[in-house]
Amino acid sequence: MTRAIIIDTDPGQDDAVAILLALAANDALDVRGIVAVAGNVPLSLTQANARRLVDSAGRADVPVYAGCARPMVQPLRTAEYVHGQSGINGYDWPDPVAPLQDLHGVDFIIESLLAADDKEITLCALGPLTNIAMALVKVPECARGIREIVMMGGGFFTGGNTTPAAEFNILVDPHAAHVVFESGLPLTLMPLDVTHQALVTKERIAPFAAMNTRCGDACAGMFGFFNRFDSEKYGAEGAPLHDPCVIAYLLEPSLFSGKNIPVKIDIAPGLTLGMTVMDWWGVTDDAANCMVMNKIDADGYFALLTKMIGRLP
Ligand code: RIB
Ligand code: CA
Residue ranges of alpha helices (H) inside the chain are 13-24, 43-56, 80-83, 105-115, 130-138, 168-172, 174-181, 192-195, 202-209, 214-234, 244-251, 298-309
pLDDT level of residue 299 (50, 70, 90 thresholds):
very high
User: Is 49 a pocket residue for ligand 1 (Cβ < 6 Å)?
Assistant: no
The helix-helix angle for 202-209 and 214-234 (nearest 10°) equals 170
Q: What is the DSSP string of 135-164?
A: HHHH-GGGGGGEEEEEEE---STT--SSSS
Q: What is the DSSP letter of 281?
A: T
pLDDT level of residue 234 (50, 70, 90 thresholds):
confident
Calculate the CA 136 to chain-centre distance.
18
84-116 pLDDT per residue, tens: 999 999 999 999 999 999 999 999 999 999 999
Quick check: 148 and 126 in contact, CB under 8 A?
Answer: no
Burial of 290 (0-12, 13-18, 19+ CB in 10 A): buried
Residue 230, pLDDT > 90, answer no
257-267 pLDDT per residue, tens: 999 999 999 99
User: What are the b/e assignments for 262-271, b being 16+ CB within 10 Å?
Assistant: bbbbbbeeee
- State mean pLDDT over 165-189: 98
Q: Whose CA is nearest to atom 2 of ligand 1?
A: 168
Q: What is the rounded distance in angstroms from the CA atom of residue 91 to the CA atom of residue 218? A: 5
Return mean pLDDT, the chain: 97
Enzyme catalytic residues = 242
Quick check: 109 and 8 in contact, CB under 8 A?
Answer: yes
The overall pTM is greater than 0.85? yes
- State mean pLDDT over 136-144: 98
pLDDT level of residue 231 (50, 70, 90 thresholds):
confident
Pick the CATH number of 3-309 from 3.90.226.10, 3.90.1300.10, 3.90.245.10, 3.10.20.30: 3.90.245.10
**CA 168 to centroid of ligand 1, rounded, Å:** 6
Residues whose CB is less than 8 angstroms from the CB of residue 284 and which lie 6 or more positions away in sequence, other chains included: 262
Q: What is the DSSP letter of 100?
A: B
User: Is 10 a pocket residue for ligand 1 (Cβ < 6 Å)?
Assistant: yes
183-220 pLDDT per residue, tens: 999 999 999 999 999 999 999 999 999 999 999 999 99
What are the boundaries of each domain within the chain?
3-309
The helix-helix angle for 298-309 and 214-234 (nearest 10°) equals 150
Residue of 20, 49, 169 best suited for mutating to test ligand 1, as the one with most atoms within 8 Å of CB = 169
Residue 233, pLDDT > 90, answer no
Of the given ranges (116-120, 204-208, 227-231), which has the lowest mean pLDDT? 227-231
